[in-house]
Structure 1
Amino acid sequence: MALIPSIEENAPRMRAIFEDLHTHPEIGFEEKRTSAIVEKHLREWGFDEVHSGIAETGVVGILRGKGSGNRRIGLRADMDALPIQEISGLDYASQNAGRMHACGHDGHTTMLLGAAQYLAATRDFDGTAVFIFQPAEEGLGGARRMIAEGLFRDFPVDEVYGMHNQPLSRLGRAAIRPGAMMAGAAFFDITINGKGSHAAQPHRSKDALVIGAELVGQLQTIVSRNVDPVDPCVLSCTQFHTGSAYNIVPETATITGTVRYFDQKVMDLVEQRMRELCNGMAAAYGVGIDLDLRNVFDVLVNDPDLTDAYVAAAADVLGAENVSAECPQFMGSEDFADMSAAIPGAYINVMHGGAAALHNPAFVLEPEVLPIGSSIYARIIERRMPLLKESA
């Protein structure tokens, strides 16, 4: 492993920032403390411009290299936590009840800050680095909102790079793939409006609980009995809420969940079948069933040339034998997809150990991955915008 020396030397300070962010997690569009810390550090390190309040809590830092080139490259990290109660047992565990950095976004923010400090001190690149600290990645549309509020209009870039930690692996590896790497996702909410009654007189009801239970079972057959088995797709019902007492047949019920896919035609088929099932069961039971199905994440597609560039940058740090360009596709989703749909982009996974998966209340990010991510981010800037000797 060949970490950038000054980043490696700065690892203890990076860890302190990471532990502080982990102790004080904030969910989407509420990352006020986090964004204030980011802004403070960027200003301390002499960034040419620092802009805050983009999409509520987003921060963008502009850093110009020693050269006079016009190329501009974006580096992005997400900042938000999840609504999970932490059970990791860490000394620096979350102090915010029901809030936890169970996806490692505190680590991503720290990695980008580590690269920012190094590049601000050296500026050994020819062009402009745009540091994007994004809020609300976890299904709340932070990337889309930043773009809608003029992210790439006000801070144009030629290409953009993102990064994610991956636990349950071995420290010192990285993986990426060209083309489609992560699934698109739609979230759904189904509301059943039936008729309540006394539990002793169920014949007077249109039981939303029974109807909902049957609907959940039917929804789970859509993929297995409608989608070609060779086409990746996952439909998961994840919440079922109904009832209020032992002796009341409930009048309403709600079902929520997600659909994950790589092919829009598959998603269109799933949507069609969901609507047909809801409409058919509404007619059969004489109730109202409303389906709200909305796209939240696009399919994440890596630009092939930028994938090669990421592989080269990661190989500088980890060694070519530890960087794979054949990462399997996986059904998780990531709203960096919206950025790479607007601007050519690439997204890489950096591996580490740990015994718990992402989004688990016992998840622990291995701190030794922090200088690895920072070094890879920095090498992308230095490789893609090399400083010529005559411009130094």
Structure 2
Amino acid sequence: MSDATDLTNEALIAIRRHLHAHPELSLKEFETKAYLKGVIQAFDQTHISYREVESVPTALLVRIAGSAPQRTIGYRTDIDALPVTEATDLSFQSQNSGIMHACGHDMHMTVALGILNHFANHQPKDNLVFLFQPAEENFSGGERVYKSGALSDEFLPEEIYGLHDNPELASGVIATRLGTLFAGTTEIHVTFTGEGGHAAFPHRANDAIIAASAFVMQVQTIVSRRVDPIKGGVVTLGTFTAGTIGNVIAETAHIDGTIRGLQQDTIELIQGQVRQIAKGIGVTYGVTVDLELRQDGYLPVENNPDLTQQFITYMTQNENVDFQIVGPAMTGEDFGYLLSKIPGTMFWLGVESPYALHSSHLAPKETALEKGVQAMTGFLEWRMQQD
């Protein structure tokens, strides 16, 4: 066992601020990975080993060998940022123009480093595998890492945990629920192609805007008339692009949107309805409809019932943890893919901010860092004593 002390609150804050100032987009997190690895290599290396992922080069796996392992426990953190221009005016705000940790992944990484540091100093009973995962915001990094085969043999967790920060909860609050915590998501991308023409002669053209508008209106009936109201769902169309000038009938129109649902069968039902509507629009309006639905690894985040009940039991009984049971959220997370392969639990860490996730003003309270580390190291130590 090492005599080294765990990272102080001041050290955690310094790490978080460095990460916040140097955000990188999905699959481009090369400097982030190098920094993370450098921090970890300064820890006691007695029981630590590493694995790189050739097909996902910004991913990093770190294993701590247990003293008397009964199992291998995984912990995952995401490392990418968003294409958002920061507007916080913090002294350590983003130095990378147009890129920001607006979803709090800098907080996620720092908590993970704090947990890893603790167990580097105090060898765990069970094996621990930490996954520093790229591309949560785009490109389904969790699915990519899993399909690469990197989570195998001694690096294969038998259960896995991960957090997401929550600006609506008080700083340091731990929160989760049995069942689905986050929705699964599907991207909608659809292009309508008709025939352009002069505004004065509509009968000689085929207006793509009319067809696309009909698609918008019909899609909005899916949730209200096709989805079980007890289950619910969301279809949002966020962009509509068409035309170049007011006196020309548009030849093409393009729409982007999202599907969200708390159960995979609901998502698949909505997907099927969108396909049927797109097909019908093509026939009705005589246009070509090119529809792409992309779910990739963004499955519902379904917490394992047994492991999550153990998590809830520990957090509820720990007088040093402010724990809450929460309802499900329609936010998406590609941790859902990993949970479809490896049983585990995702939970919220409160960071108390008036601004929402993905806001250019998001400024999480750093007091949450130490509380998150302490809650999770305590849980893992307790978990390792369970049969």
CA–CA distance in structure 1, aligned partners of residues 120 and 374 of structure 2: 14
TM-aligned CA distance change 1:318 to 1:290, over 3 Å: farther
Structure 2 partner of 1:84: 84
Alignment of 1:50-61 (within 5 A): 50-53=50-53, 55-61=56-62
Alignment-derived partner of residue 367 in structure 1? 366
- TM (normalized to structure 2)? 0.91
Cα 1:70–1:79 shift into 2, 3 Å: same
Q: Structure 1 residues 22, 313: CA separation in 2 closer, same or farther (over 3 Å shift)?
A: farther
Is the counterpart of residue 236 in structure 1 residue 236 in structure 2?
yes
In structure 2, what is the equivalent of residue 45 of structure 1?
A: 43
* Equivalent pair of 1:183/1:262 in contact (CA under 8 Å): yes
Structure 1 match to 2:178: 178
What is the distance in 2 between the residues matched to 1:358 and 1:102?
6
User: In the TM superposition, what are the counterparts of 1:55-70 in structure 2 within 5 Å?
Assistant: 55-65=56-66, 67-70=67-70
Does structure 2 retain, via aligned residues, the 8 Å contact 1:77–1:112?
yes
CA 95–209 in structure 1, closer or farther in 2 if over 3 Å, else same: farther
Structure 1 residue 288: Cα displacement: 0.3
Structure 2: distance between partners of 1:340 and 1:267: 17
CA distance in 2 between partners of 1:200 and 1:210 (Å): 16
Aligned to 1:377: 376
Letter in 2 for 1:121: N
Residue 202 of structure 1 and its aligned partner are, at CA, apart by: 3.9
Residue in structure 2 matched with residue 165 of structure 1 by the alignment: 165
Residue in structure 2 matched with residue 289 of structure 1 by the alignment: 289
User: In structure 1, what is the Cα distance between the partners aligned to 2:382 and 2:230?
Assistant: 39
Question: CA offset at residue 386 of structure 1?
Answer: 4.2
Task: Write the distance in 1 (CA, Å) between the matches of 2:92 and 2:13.
Answer: 11
> CA offset at residue 376 of structure 1?
2.4
Are the structure 2 counterparts of residues 57 and 277 from structure 1 closer, same or farther at C-alpha, using a change threshold of 3 Å? same
Aligned length: 378
8 Å contact from structure 1 (residues 317, 375) kept in 2: no
Cα deviations by residue, 1:15-52 (Å, 9 ceiling, x for unpaired): 11111111111111111111111111222213421223
Distance 1:265 1:113 in 2: 36
- Provide the rounded CA distance (Å) in 1 between the counterparts of 2:218 and 2:361: 33
Q: What SS does the corresponding residue of 1:77 show, helix, strand or coil? A: strand
Counterpart for residue 301 of structure 1:
302
Alpha-carbon distance in 2 for matches of 1:101, 1:122? 31
Separation in 2 of the partners of 1:309 and 1:178?
10
Check whether the contact 2:21–2:93 (CA below 8 A) recurs between aligned residues. yes
Q: CA RMSD in A?
A: 2.2
Match of 2:125 in 1: 126
Counterpart residue type for residue 333 of structure 2 = E
The answer on whether the counterparts of 1:85 and 1:99 sit within 8 Å (CA) in structure 2 is yes
Deviations 1:228-254 (A, max 9, x none): 322221111112222334554322111
Q: Distance in 2 between matches of 1:161 and 1:101?
A: 21
Which residue does 2:34 correspond to in 1? 36
Q: Retained in 1: the 8 A contact 2:53–2:145?
A: no
Distance 1:314 1:35, change over 3 A: farther
Percent identity between the two aligned chains: 34
Cα offset for 1:76? 0.7
240-249 or 134-143, which deviates more: 240-249
Give unmatched runs, 5+ long, in structure 1: 1-5, 388-392
Is 1:100 matched with 2:67?
Answer: no
Map Cα deviations across residues 127-183 of structure 1 (whole Å, 9 max, x no partner).
211111001111421000000011322411121111111002212321111222221
- One-letter amino acid matched to 2:15: I
> What is the CA distance between 1:200 and its match in structure 2?
4.7
SS in 2 for 1:186: strand
**Mapped contact 1:129–1:381 kept (Cα < 8 A):** no
Secondary structure, counterpart of 2:151 in structure 1:
helix
Question: How big is each residue's C-alpha offset from its partner over 1:198-230, in whole Å with a ceiling of 9 and x where there is no partner?
Answer: 445444322222322232122122111222322
Find the aligned partners of 2:251 and 2:204 in 1 and give their Cα distance: 11
1:1-392 paired onto structure 2 within 5 Å: 7=6, 10-47=8-45, 48-53=48-53, 55-65=56-66, 67-123=67-123, 125-154=124-153, 155-296=155-296, 297-315=298-316, 319=320, 322-324=322-324, 326-386=325-385
Give the match's secondary structure for 2:352. coil
Q: Using the TM superposition, give the Cα deviation of residue 342 of structure 1 relative to its aligned residue in structure 2, in angstroms.
A: 1.0
Amino acid at match of 1:311: I
Please say if residues 75 and 377 of structure 1, whose CA atoms lie closer than 8 Å, have aligned partners that are also in contact: no
For 1:137, the aligned partner's letter is E
- Show CA shifts across 1:106-128 (max 9, x none): 110011011112221122x2121
